[in-house]
């Protein structure tokens, strides 16, 4: 399955903009879904969920999201395929 970024609505971006960046233009977050699943080490870049550590796709939509917490839990994601 191809990785398609999820564009976050103003509801989420307003919350994220108020918090510090992990690096230039991005934040590392934990996404909690309405069904209780959590996705740690998720990258939000310029208002888009772009990558989740260990996954080759994003297995949810914005409508599934119950909460987003900035964690700054870094890893060397540039070296993962």
Distances (CA, A) of 24 to 33, 37, 59, 75: 26, 28, 25, 15
The end-to-end CA distance of the chain, in Å, is: 14
For the question of whether the overall pTM of this predicted structure is more than 0.85, the answer is yes
Which pLDDT belongs to residue 3? 73
The answer to whether residue 51 sits within a structural domain is yes
Q: Per DSSP, what are the bridge partners of residue 51?
A: 43
The answer to whether residue 48 sits within a structural domain is yes
Domain total of the chain: 1
The answer to whether residue 81 sits within a structural domain is no
The answer to whether residue 32 sits within a structural domain is yes
Q: What is the pLDDT of residues 45-67, one digit of tens each?
A: 999 999 999 999 999 999 999 99
The answer to whether residue 28 sits within a structural domain is yes
The answer to whether residue 11 sits within a structural domain is yes
Domain extent, residue 17, equals 6-75
Distance CA 12, CA 57 (A): 20
């Amino acid at each position: 399955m191809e990785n398609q970024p999820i564009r976050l609505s103003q509801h989420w971006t307003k919350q994220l903009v108020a918090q510090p960046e992990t690096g230039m233009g991005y934040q590392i977050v934990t996404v909690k879904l309405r069904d209780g699943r959590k996705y740690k080490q998720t990258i939000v870049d310029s208002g888009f969920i772009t990558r989740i550590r260990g996954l080759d796709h994003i297995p949810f939509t914005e409508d599934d999201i119950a909460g987003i917490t900035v964690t700054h839990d870094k890893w060397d994601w540039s070296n993962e395929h």
